[in-house]
Amino acid sequence: MKDKNKRVKFIIGCVLTGLVFIMMLSGIFYTPFDPMEMDPSTKLMGPTLSHIFGCDNFGRDIFSRVMVGVRETMLVAGSVVIIGTLVGTIVGTITGYYGGWLDEIIMRLNDAVLAFPSVLLALLIIGLLGGGRNPLILALGIAFVPSFARIVRGEVLRIRNLDFIQCVKLYGASDLRIIFVHILPNLKTVLLSSVLIGFNNAVLAEAGMSYLGMGVQPPNPSLGRMLSEAQAYIFSNPLNAIFPGIVIVMMILGFSLMAGGLEK
Amino acid sequence: MSMLTVKDLCIKVHDRKTTDTLVYDVDLSMDKGDILGIVGESGSGKTMTALAIAGLLSRHDMEKSGQIIFEGINLLEVERKVLRKIQGNEITMVFQEPLNSFNPLKKVGWQVEEGLRVHTVMDKCEMKERAIEALRDVELSNPEAVYNSYPHELSGGMRQRAMIAAAMIIQPKLIIADEPTTALDVTIQAEIVELLKRINKERGTAILFISHDLSLVNTLCENVLVMQNGLVVESGRCENIFNNPKEDYTKKLISAIPKNPFYKG
């Protein structure tokens, strides 16, 4: 019964993310309209057969912009998660495996970063480096490291004390061998679901930062950017904000359901 | 000179402000082919002593003093590199909980080979041959199947056998068996003890057998060490201690043995 629930969850999650992915991938080769082209005659138009999501305040086709914007959002979120996971795994493994004062120092630093609101931290870094996509990726990446480091450290601590690690140690395996061959592969179940959840948070963070005007710069579309542009017309043309919002929800729900389905 | 001599081994843990002594002045010596049992209740320092001999106590808040001399080398003072060579080549260990002793993600055969992989350069076929031979040697009925299965697919007894195979594959001089039978049921316990006995006889491997089961120790060991609260209470030949215990604690331990088929005394 429980297993079946999880499978259903996982499948629904796959379908939702699959849809978003199809939209994103086809956006690379084909969009129904040019996502940058402005057309005064279709300004703030509601959904029609040719413009299925309607048009925004510059008369640009929202569906086309969403297709391209998803790509931008995914790119940022993906890179952020990759940075967070890589650095977090390195930090977590070193601190968890070796322990001692190094662990204390790094984890206290980690706590300090963790205690700082991530959006504020990202704002600070963007303030120093300037806006745009790459500083945004860097900023969010740094903000995402601590939570991954924590998760990895906890797991490494647990696995390190299992008998089989002691066994391998006794065979005379080096620390590097123990870490890479015996500990890291055992992290993958934990990492997989936290990567999926982290990806969600990254999507939201990207949307939030772009909404604040710190991320992807106009006229390039991203989902957060589109929300922020639609905000001015939220009462007259709510659909402008609703469609990109739905895509964000689909993405996040999809990944959450997948993560939920994968959990033990 | 004996193969392993432990002299005045003390293990202390510094926990914040107080210092706890876990093991006081343990002395023991073992020759090639000896089987030494260490018995005692939980928390008596049996496992600590064993881990210290194996060189696995590396916690930074722990202080070890005394001497552990293995074939003329003091394991407490030697560099890590040398220690690593001795570990695995000369000393291996079988743990209590056979489920945790294997990496859940790798096949059993791969893990049995691990000792060879770390210490020698050997091609895959040869390694597989050696591993299967080792698995056959511990009386697993279908070594090839075991070689290709994952740890969770084996029963506890089979896992413990595979563990012994993994420990034996590098032909060590000393096996430390830390309560290898505690997690198993009685019939399997007897089989494992028989297996250890046979290995000892055929290969001349010394066995340090740690247990709180006195009857098992009695069937397996020649010499025995009784520990309580980190102290060696009594030591000597097995028959002597079992037939005519001197210390109160030993008497109590012996009287606590339930009458079971393995109890000879």
pTM for the whole structure: 0.77
* Angle in degrees, 0-180, between the axes of helices A62-98 and A100-115, rounded to the nearest 10: 150
Question: Of all residues in chain B, what percent carry a pLDDT higher than 70?
Answer: 95
The model's pLDDT over A192-203, given as tens digits with 9 standing for 90+, comes to 888 888 888 888
Instruction: Specify the 3-state DSSP secondary structure of A128.
Output: helix
- Token code pair at residue A30: 């084909």
Cβ proximity of A31 and A72 under 8 Å = no
- Write down the pLDDT at residue B263: 53
**Residue B211, amino acid:** S
Question: Is the CB of residue B245 less than 8 Å from the CB of residue B251?
Answer: yes
Closest residue in A to B178 (Cα–Cα)? A163
A186 touches chain B (CB under 8 A): yes
Q: How far apart are CA B132 and CA B147, in angstroms?
A: 7
Question: Do residues B94 and B178 make contact, with C-beta atoms less than 8 angstroms apart?
Answer: yes
Cβ–Cβ under 8 Å, residues B114 and A171 = yes
Rounded-to-integer distance, Cα B143 and Cα B166, Å = 13
> Would you call A260 an interface residue with chain B, using a CB distance cutoff of 8 Å?
no
Identity of the residue numbered B48: M
Among residues B94, B230, B213, which one has the least CA distance to residue B165?
B94
Q: Looking at beta carbons, which residues of chain B come within 8 Å of A173?
A: 88, 114, 118
Between the two ends of chain B, the Cα-to-Cα distance in Å is 32
Phi, psi (rounded to 5 degrees) for B79:
-65, 155
For residue B105, the chain A residues in CB contact (below 8 A) are 185-186
> Sign of dihedral through CA atoms A78, A79, A82, A88?
negative
DSSP per-residue letters across B59-96: -TTEEEEEEEEETTEETTTS-HHHHHHHHHHTEEEE-S
Q: Is A187 helix (H, G, I), strand (E, B) or coil?
A: helix
Q: Which fold has domain A2-26+73-262?
A: MetI-like fold (1.10.3720)
pLDDT digits 0-9 by tens, B89-121:
888 888 888 778 888 888 999 988 888 888 777
Question: CB B95 to CB A166 under 8 A?
Answer: yes
Interface contact A171-B103, CB threshold 8 A: no
Q: At A249, list the tokens.
A: 């929800």
Q: Which residues of B touch A (CB under 8 A)?
A: 54-56, 60, 84-85, 87-89, 91-93, 95-97, 100-106, 111, 114-115, 118-119, 163, 166, 170
Probe site for chain A from B51, B100, B116 (most A CB atoms < 10 A): B100
* Least confident segment among B7-21, B37-51, B102-116: B7-21
Predicted pLDDT at B265? 46
Q: Determine the Cα–Cα distance for residues B22 and B48; give it in Å rounded to an integer.
A: 8
Mapping DSSP to helix (H, G, I), strand (E, B) and coil, where does residue B174 land? strand
pLDDT digits (tens, 9 = 90+) for B130-186: 899 889 888 888 889 999 999 889 888 888 889 889 888 888 889 998 888 887 888
What H or E segment, with its residue span, contains residue B224? Answer: strand B223-228
Alpha-carbon span A24 to B90, nearest angstrom: 59
Lowest mean pLDDT among A34-48, A178-192, B174-188: A34-48
Helices (H), A44-61: none
Upper half-sphere CA count for residue A123 (Cβ side, 13 Å): 10
Average pLDDT value over all residues in chain B: 84
Search chain A and give the residue with CA nearest B106.
A182
**Length of chain B as a residue count:** 265
Instruction: Give the residue carrying structure tokens 């096996």.
Output: B175
Which chain A residue has the Cα nearest residue B53?
A: A170
